[in-house]
């Protein structure tokens, strides 16, 4: 997640701001009308053009380089992978579904469903993913025949603007209206972003929780996503070296910018030491007490994450914090907590290559620790487990208030959709009412269409009173 946008405007919107938003929204509506006769094949061509605009190797690289140079967040190599992998996976999902015209027909029930646009979408996007997230949302929005106006984090405006440029060029190449995709001009203020949210037909907010709350209070139907702080259990049956490799790959990807990155590991006591050794072999460095204090003192400033340390390379983090020479080859940094403390900063999301470790006495204690971590932050988002015990995985699904429980997976790569699980590819994870969200699934195309139901009569389906009430009356009587 990105940090909250600076409050550059607390006053009411000016006349110029109102005029600007009215112009953008009008252009979006005009583009939708011009695109309104498109059939499914035409829509799919346009969505594919948007996908190719970022997936294309030279664009994926150039925009990744620009993002890192502008924001200082993440690393180029992984942002290229993210730009391409998320776009490819999302395109796969979108090409397999219908969204225009008749999208479903159930003759037995006498129902025919028609997909229709929701309208102009206001998309709030973060600085952590200034290219991948705008393209991801645009693909989904255009799949439903909508127009989209992107309100980027000011910290990533240049990168997002360059991304919008390549998308608009792609629309032009397939003779589609360019104004299906627009961006707020600089400077992007809270005032103008809130005005856009109020004028749009749907708001989709990814980023800080301030942005999500603003979306839900805009008066416009809104979809927001929750904060991450992923706890993952390693139990006694886990394949430790394989598990450690997955955790390292996931934790270090794009320098832990993902809200799905592991933030805490909860390891059962009987494999704790062996698991720590496996993490060290995978590239982890177990900090000592002095180094732990240095991380705590510098990663947070007055309780807020230090922007000069979040999502930085391991060498940069090491040098800026002042870790010892033993950490020279480390890819991520492990902090042990002797017991859970909700007031400890290490219990929270860290947006950095720092991983908190807890020792669980048994599996009951491990489940309790997961709940406690998520109570600090991340309730509703996700958790994970590395295990060969299916009952342990099922217990997490039954007891933990999260939308996703990942089993034996690198969390960053699995949580937002993967080629070896059935979750939709996305960069926006709904967290249900637990996380203050309206959706409890990965953001996907269904959230960008309205559905008209054509209803005809069928054979009567009316059960008898006995069928409906018989068992109840037999058990409780008629009084």
Residues annotated as catalytic are 259
Beta carbons within 10 angstroms of residue 104's beta carbon = 12
Taking CA atoms, 122 is separated from 213, 350, 393, in Å, by: 14, 28, 38
Beta carbons within 10 angstroms of residue 360's beta carbon = 22
Residue 384 dihedral angles phi and psi, to the nearest 5°: -150, 170
Q: Are strands 111-117 and 120-125 parallel, antiparallel or unpaired?
A: unpaired
What residues are paired with 222 via a beta bridge?
203
Which strand (E) or helix (H) includes residue 170?
helix 157-173
Q: What is the dihedral of CA 290, 291, 292, 297, to 10 degrees?
A: 90
Measured distance CA(453)–CA(315) in Å, rounded? 57
8-state DSSP, 70: H
Match 């800080």 to its residue by tokens: 208
> With b meaning 16 or more CB within 10 Å and e meaning fewer, what string describes 36-71?
eebebebbbebbbbbbbbbbbeebbbbbbebbbebb
Measured distance CA(242)–CA(388) in Å, rounded? 13
Measured distance CA(410)–CA(351) in Å, rounded? 16
Both structure tokens of 444 = 């996907």
Measured distance CA(391)–CA(252) in Å, rounded? 30
């Amino acid at each position: 997640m990105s940090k909250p946008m600076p409050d550059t405007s607390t006053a009411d919107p000016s006349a110029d701001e109102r005029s600007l938003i009215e112009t953008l929204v009008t252009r979006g509506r005009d583009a939708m009308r011009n695109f309104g006769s498109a059939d499914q094949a035409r829509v799919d061509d346009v969505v594919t053009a948007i996908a190719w605009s970022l997936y294309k190797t030279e664009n994926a690289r150039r925009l990744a380089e620009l993002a890192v140079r502008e924001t200082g967040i993440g690393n180029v190599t992984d942002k290229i992978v993210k730009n391409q992998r998320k776009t490819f996976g999302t395109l796969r999902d979108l090409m397999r579904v219908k969204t225009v015209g008749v999208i479903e027909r159930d003759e037995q029930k006498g129902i025919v469903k028609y997909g229709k646009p929701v309208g102009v979408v206001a998309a709030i996007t973060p600085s952590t993913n200034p290219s991948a997230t705008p393209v991801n949302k645009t693909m989904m929005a255009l799949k439903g025949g909508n127009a989209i106006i992107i309100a980027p984090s000011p910290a990533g405006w240049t990168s997002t603007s360059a991304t919008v440029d390549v998308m608009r060029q792609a629309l032009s190449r397939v003779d589609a209206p360019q104004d299906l995709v627009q961006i707020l001009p600089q400077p992007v203020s809270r005032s103008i972003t809130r005005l856009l949210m109020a004028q749009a037909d749907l708001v989709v907010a990814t980023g800080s929780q301030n942005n999500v709350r603003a979306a839900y209070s805009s008066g416009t139907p809104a979809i927001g996503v929750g904060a991450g702080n992923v706890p993952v259990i390693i139990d006694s049956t886990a394949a430790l070296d394989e598990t450690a490799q997955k955790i390292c790959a996931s934790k270090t990807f794009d320098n832990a910018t993902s809200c799905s990155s592991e933030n805490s590991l909860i390891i059962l006591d009987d494999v704790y030491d062996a698991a720590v050794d496996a993490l060290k072999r995978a590239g982890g460095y177990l900090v000592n007490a002095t180094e732990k204090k240095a991380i705590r003192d510098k990663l947070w400033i007055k309780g807020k994450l230090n922007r000069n340390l979040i999502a930085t390379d391991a060498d940069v983090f090491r040098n800026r914090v002042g870790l010892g020479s033993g950490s020279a080859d480390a890819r991520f940094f492990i902090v042990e907590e002797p017991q859970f403390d909700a007031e400890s900063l290490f219990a929270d999301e860290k947006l950095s290559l720092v991983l908190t470790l807890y020792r669980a006495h048994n599996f009951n204690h491990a489940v309790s620790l997961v709940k406690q971590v998520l109570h600090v932050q991340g309730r509703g988002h996700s958790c994970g487990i590395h295990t060969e015990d299916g009952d342990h995985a099922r217990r997490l699904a039954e007891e933990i208030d999260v939308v996703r429980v990942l089993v034996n997976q690198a969390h960053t790569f699995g949580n937002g959709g993967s080629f070896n699980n059935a979750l939709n590819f996305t960069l926006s994870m709904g967290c249900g009412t637990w996380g203050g969200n309206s959706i409890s699934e990965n953001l996907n195309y269904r959230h960008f269409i309205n559905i008209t139901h054509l209803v005809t009569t069928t054979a009567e389906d009316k059960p008898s009173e006995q069928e409906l009430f018989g068992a109840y009356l037999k058990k409780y009587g008629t009084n």
